[in-house]
Amino acid sequence: MKCSLCHLAFASLLATAGLLTTAAPAATAPEINYDESKVPGFTLPDPLRMSDGTLVRDAKTWTRKRRPEVLALFESHVYGRSPTAPGKLEFEILSSDAQALDGFATRKQIRIYPLGDRTGPRMDLLLYLPNATRKLVPAFLGMNFGGNHTIHADPGILITDNWVRPGSGAINNRANSASRGQSSGAWPIEKILKRGYALATLYYGDLEPDWEQGWKSGIRSRFTNDHATWGAIGAWAWGLSRALDYLEKDKQIDDNRVALLGHSRLGKASLWAGAQDERFAIVISNESGCGGAAISRRRFGETVQRINTAFPHWFCEKFKQYNDRENELPVDQHQLITLIAPRPVYIASAEEDRWADPKGEFLSAKLAEPVYALFGKRGLGVDEMPSVNHPVCDTIAYHIRTGKHDVTEFDWDQYLSFADRHFR
């Protein structure tokens, strides 16, 4: 598809969605909005329009010129600039059991020293591999919220000794055996293994405790730049890339087929990691909402002001300048999706999770299509938001399912089939 057509398609998409409008002035201290008729008017940035006003006409120009521009805008205004990868990755195998899960899997637990210093910060990667195949296996990689031991009742999983957030089965912010397997519903390990995939996960608190002063004991404290120049989401995203550094070294993993998955705040981190690190072959966002897949300018559900107030440590300091001033942002979240092109990306919502703005998440997927078209890739393949529990997909995929803010078996069924489609 020619670029001029792509640009016209983007304008058409905006008009169809009712988004080609004049920017409205910001309201003062707005109430939470769940009414589509109260979504303010706004104009979205065209992902194909360069900073000098010219239009991108081909994939080469996108890759060499426009993509770096868009990436730099997100670094400057939203997530902050992450440090470069360390020169050397240090790791050690803490345990390896070839008869895990009643002989169905091999369980490895790897301690990664992301700065290459064994006296410095560490993060523990839990890796399950299917024993049914001796070939290199593709993998799903994702962070968990409560510690590796919470994703399955397997008694061989080490219990984290790092800070854990309140409400995750912790006593005085420390994990205990009572929390073992408490999040297993979100991690159907046996199903993943039976489909021929490995599963790798790490606890996000290993990188940085999730509270405002968590940076003081987190990875950001180890860099000379001001911690406020990049947020906790950037720190978690940086850690996901370090986990991939290890997977590249594991002789049982096909590192060219690693799908990155994240839910909620970790969906934001996964999108940002996938945007920066093109080694991730597939990127999956599960209900990532504001600061993730949802269009910020819609001010539906969670807004920039609310997220910066509740979680002032997640984004770079400059992002706070756009509290109730989303229209002044030089980027919006559909452009975050374009940074993943031409790789497959899946965005998912839940019907009852209006806080995450399902329509805004769908629109980001839809409005990323012109960039995928530059590479000859189809986007969603539909013009309208699909009905509940009816996924749509091509190179870009989307679904909205029944239920609340969570990761369910329905979600995993779609992600596994999406990976089958693109990896096999």
Q: Could you list the pLDDT tens digit for every one of the 424 residues in the chain?
A: 333 444 445 655 665 555 644 334 444 456 899 999 999 999 999 999 999 999 999 999 999 999 999 999 999 999 999 999 888 889 999 999 999 999 999 999 999 999 988 888 899 999 999 999 889 999 999 999 999 999 999 999 999 988 887 765 555 566 778 889 999 999 999 999 999 999 999 999 999 999 999 999 999 999 866 788 999 999 999 999 999 999 999 999 999 999 999 999 999 999 999 999 999 999 999 999 999 999 999 999 999 999 999 999 999 999 999 999 999 999 999 999 999 999 999 999 999 999 999 999 999 999 999 999 999 999 999 999 999 999 999 999 999 999 999 999 999 999 999 999 999 8
pLDDT of residue 24: 40
Q: Tell me whether residue 195 is exposed, middle or buried, using C-beta atoms within 10 angstroms of its C-beta: 0 to 12, 13 to 18, 19 or more.
A: middle
Q: Is 422 in the active site? A: no
Q: What are the φ and ψ backbone dihedral angles of 311, each rounded to 5 degrees?
A: -135, 70
Place of tokens 């730049």: 225
pLDDT of residue 170: 56
pLDDT of residue 241: 98
Residue of 264, 270, 285, 349 marked catalytic:
264
Q: How far apart are CA 402 and CA 281, in angstroms?
A: 28
Q: How far apart are CA 319 and CA 304, in angstroms?
A: 8
Q: How far apart are CA 424 and CA 421, in angstroms?
A: 6
- Answer yes or no: are the C-beta atoms of 210 and 204 closer than 8 Å: yes
Q: Reply yes or no: is the peptide bond before residue 370 cis, omega within 30 of 0.
A: no
Q: How far apart are CA 418 and CA 416, in angstroms?
A: 5
Q: Is 405 in the active site? A: yes
The residue among 338, 201, 351, 175 whose CA lies nearest residue 271 is 338
Would you say the C-alpha torsion 192, 403, 314, 338 has a positive or negative sign? positive
The residue among 292, 244, 301 whose CA lies nearest residue 267 is 292
Structure tokens at 380: 């969603």
- Answer yes or no: are the C-beta atoms of 142 and 159 closer than 8 Å: no
pLDDT of residue 165: 75
- Distant-in-sequence, close-in-space partners of 75: CB < 8 Å, separation ≥ 6: 81, 82
Q: How far apart are CA 348 and CA 140, in angstroms?
A: 16
Would you say the C-alpha torsion 378, 382, 386, 391 has a positive or negative sign? negative
pLDDT of residue 119: 84
Residue of 12, 217, 405, 422 marked catalytic:
405
Provide the whole-model pTM.
0.93
- Answer yes or no: are the C-beta atoms of 231 and 80 closer than 8 Å: yes
| Alpha-carbon distance values, 164 to 114, 159, 266, 324, 400 (Å) | 20, 11, 15, 32, 30
Q: How far apart are CA 284 and CA 59, in angstroms?
A: 23
DSSP run (H or E) holding 263: strand 253-263
- Answer yes or no: are the C-beta atoms of 74 and 315 closer than 8 Å: no
Q: Using the 8-state DSSP alphabet, how is residue 64 labeled?
A: I
Q: How far apart are CA 153 and CA 162, in angstroms?
A: 19
Structure tokens at 192: 């993943």
